[in-house]
Amino acid sequence: MSVELPEETKIFLLEGYELLDATESLLLRFEKENADMPALHSIFRGLHTIKGNAGFLGFSKLEELCHRAESILDKARSG
């Protein structure tokens, strides 16, 4: 049995996977290059995008998870 997803959800998933792949690479760069701030800002923006899209689609648990991650990243950005 297969379930057909709405087009908006398919787009969200595709974009989300791309953003998470980029985030993984950026996190590794951030760790390796000892707090590379441009990488940290990019990570934040990616999670912010996922959070906004999740909220738009009603994925409240994912939206909350991204919000919490943003809070942690914001603390790191401010030292």
CA pair distance 42, 45, nearest whole angstrom: 5
pLDDT of residue 2: 83
Q: Pick from 56, 58, 39, 49: which is nearest to 16 by CA? A: 49
State which amino acid sits at residue 75: K
What pLDDT does residue 35 have?
74
17-65 pLDDT, tens digit per residue, is: 999 999 999 999 888 887 788 989 999 999 999 999 999 999 999 999 9
CA atoms of 70 and 75, how far apart (whole Å) = 9
Q: CB atoms < 10 A from the CB of 44, how many?
A: 19
What is the distance between the alpha carbons of residues 52 and 16, in angstroms, rounded to a whole number? 11
Q: Is residue 1 over pLDDT 80?
A: no
